[in-house]
Amino acid sequence: MRKSIAIYGAGGFGRETALLLQQINAVEPLWDFKGFFDDGLPKNTRLADGLVIGGFQDALDSDIECLVLGIAEGAVRKKLFEGLKRKGFRFPSLIHPSVNRGSGRNHIGQGCLISAGVICTTDIVLDDFVLVNLAVTIGHDVHLQAYTSVMPACHLSGNVSVHTGAFIGTGAKILQGVTIGQRAKVGAGAVVLHDVPPGATAVGVPARIITP
């Protein structure tokens, strides 16, 4: 029996998340998609991918069983979860059928989104509400802490640690053993050779810190 599910966020990534649900259902019909919650669009707005069924209060008032946070910014995901957890939603992790899940020793927390083409290896830990976007590779012993966001085509070498709320831009490469600090940002295409401090921004090849 399909479980009822809605997506919080009807922007670009939210609509990509709706596509992810469709692609999962094409392989195994698990989800009954009810629509989007979004605070920036009027209720009953019809999008190509589904109906906007309300905002924050409508989510609290709904009888939907499961909720996905389809928002790329980790800080927003965290704020929404803190506000919505009292409702008692289940926050399933959605994994595209094409993902190479790697070793059975890998761990994935609740509320994670793992997009098409991702390749995992072994002894990987993804904490709650991690986003791994299209065609990312994740090496051995990588730890992605809660609310981190890894954008498309990034490559994370072995023993990389990405701390809570960090953001890794499209096409970035993180070399072996590097730590990305809490809420740090790595620019698109950067090649990171050394640790990035909490709250800092690293850009370029090789990456350099541009904010304290």
The partner residues of 138 in beta bridges, in order of sequence, read: 120, 156
Active site residue 140: yes
The structure tokens listed for 63 are 């009888």
Q: Is 18 exposed, middle or buried (0-12, 13-18, 19+ CB in 10 A)?
A: buried
Cα separation, 125 vs 122, in Å, equals 9
Kindly state the DSSP code that residue 100 receives in the 8-state scheme: B
Cα separation, 190 vs 36, in Å, equals 34
For residue 82, how many other CB atoms are within 10 A of its CB? 9
The structure tokens listed for 44 are 């009953």
- Say which of 140, 155, 163, 194 is annotated catalytic: 140
Which residues are CB-neighbours of 118 under 8 A, at least 6 positions away?
A: 96, 99, 100, 132, 134, 135, 136, 137, 138
Which phi and psi angles does 109 have, rounded to 5°?
Answer: -80, -170
The helix/strand/coil state of 26 is helix
Which phi and psi angles does 94 have, rounded to 5°?
Answer: -110, 125
- Positions annotated as catalytic residues are 140
